[in-house]
Amino acid sequence: MAEYIYDTFKLNNKNSLNSEDIKSLSLLYLPLMGIDSYALYSILMSLENGETYSYKKLIDSLNFNSLKLINKALEKLQALGLLKCYYSENKGHLFEVIAPLSFHDFFQNEMLVALLSTQIGEGEIVKLNTPPKRIVGYKDVSKKFNDVFETSSKSVTTTIAELTKPDIVVENNEFNYTLFKLLFEEDVVCEAVLDDEDFKNRINRISYTYKLNEEEMKDVLIKTMDIDKNLEYASISKNARVAFQNKYKSQGPKIVTKGEDSFLPSSIDDKWLEIIEKVDNMQIADTLQSVSGIKPSVSEIKMFDQLQQQTGFPIGVINMMILHVNAVNDGVLPGINYFEKIANTWARAKIKTSYDVLKYFEKQAEKKDKEKKTPYRSKKEKPLPNWYEEYTRQLEGKGKTNQEISEAEQEELTNLVKDIVG
């Protein structure tokens, strides 16, 4: 995408949004793409077709503080089929704005429906997909299309679909459709069905959405035929969702960005949330006991309670501070003045949550890497601490409050920050 704010792009926009388009964008697309992409799409729709603009205009119009936010918003619009991006070395970027799917077409897309369901809940999905109530006391005397127009040999339905339905491209490289076909006997699913291009695309999309392999998708299809007595895509998607829930112990797939995003959850965040959950749900007394191996004194607990009141930091941040100081001081916890200095530093860094602490540690590590003239650690490679997988298994199902903490757990928790900071 753009490298400099004064780079330019040309706009190709022949659409004009109606009220249904706005409704679709607000209720169906907004939860998936975030307010940044929604606002950017609105700006692009308002710009003149065929004109050339600078990225700075977008930054100024949206009051964004960096080109990175613009690029991320543009990428999400492309991924959701609302924007096509073309590039020429001589002419630069050309953006083609695409109209959103109608409610009907949106709900024909199993992947989008599944992701939206996770975002807003199945109850809201039912409401959005419920046809409007019939008007009582009136007779519909509206003219039908064929009452007014004649059609050419080309299907009107096909023509409208070509004009309004954007392509949402999903490459499911982890799913081998050829292998999937070989898993079926001819008398189970006929080859003509398996060779149908639309069927193939739907299976690829459903397997991608619910993260199912070839064998699992085969089981989904057989279950669909046995239970639902059909091979309708809605039924296949429904059973795939059940398979997803059983496999991943989760209600449904959710949409996340591959990189960091200020307006949507990302896959990077998901990994760290597990760590944050541990830290945010430990009492200060438990954290102190875990790092020292002995029950903390009343004065120690009072010291950190006082620190929390003074700083306004949540318990997760205080726990991260204890773990950090314990790690860098080889298990020796200094007095309150030492912690107050760290608290002031963190406050100036605008730290408010335990997630902010992890981000702060990562930036410090990147700064050290830069000083050593070594490549940055990729933001897509935020590693979980090497203790974390085993530590999670140890704590599975255990409540930490007022329970004895093993020596192994003490050691693992003590090394938490060392592993994050590297």
* Predicted pLDDT at 168: 60
Q: Which amino acid is at 401?
A: T
Please compute, for residue 276, the number of CA atoms within 13 A of its CA located in the half-sphere on the CB side: 16
String of DSSP letters for 45-72: HHSPTT-EEEHHHHHHHHT-S-HHHHHH
End-to-end CA distance of the chain: 32
SS3 257: strand
The pTM assigned to this predicted structure is 0.46
* Predicted pLDDT at 163: 35
Give the tens place of pLDDT for each residue, 25-59: 999 999 999 999 999 999 999 999 889 999 999 99
Counts of helices then strands in the chain (DSSP H, E): 23, 4
Give the integer Cα–Cα distance in Å for 414 and 416: 6
Tokens representing residue 164 in the block: 């309004």
Task: For 401, list phi and psi in degrees, rounded to 5.
Answer: -65, 130
* Predicted pLDDT at 17: 85
pLDDT tens digits, the chain, 422 residues: what are they? 678 888 889 999 888 888 889 999 999 999 999 999 999 999 999 999 889 999 999 998 998 888 889 999 999 999 999 999 998 888 888 999 999 998 888 988 888 888 888 888 888 888 888 776 666 677 767 765 445 544 333 333 333 333 334 456 666 778 899 999 888 887 788 888 888 888 888 898 888 888 889 999 999 999 998 888 888 888 898 898 888 888 877 766 665 565 556 555 555 555 566 667 777 878 888 888 887 778 888 888 889 988 988 888 988 899 888 888 888 877 778 888 899 999 999 999 999 888 788 888 888 877 877 776 555 444 444 555 554 555 555 445 444 443 444 555 555 555 554 454 44
Give the integer Cα–Cα distance in Å for 177 and 149: 43
* Predicted pLDDT at 393: 55
Would you list the domain boundaries of the chain? 8-97, 177-248, 267-421
Indicate the CATH number for domain 8-97: 1.10.10
Give the integer Cα–Cα distance in Å for 331 and 366: 25
Beta-strand pair 8-12/52-54: antiparallel
311 CB-near residues (< 8 Å, 6+ apart): 317, 318, 343, 347
Tokens representing residue 261 in the block: 């995003």
* Predicted pLDDT at 380: 47
Give the integer Cα–Cα distance in Å for 377 and 131: 51
Cα-based torsion angle of the residue sequence 303, 309, 315, 321 in order, rounded to the nearest 10 degrees: -60
Please compute, for residue 334, the number of CA atoms within 13 A of its CA located in the half-sphere on the CB side: 14
Task: Please give the DSSP secondary-structure letter assigned to residue 407.
Answer: H
CA distances (Å), origin 152, targets 59, 146, 158, 165:
46, 12, 12, 21
Task: For 95, list phi and psi in degrees, rounded to 5.
Answer: -105, 125
Total residues belonging to the chain: 422
CB 384 within 8 A of CB 267: no
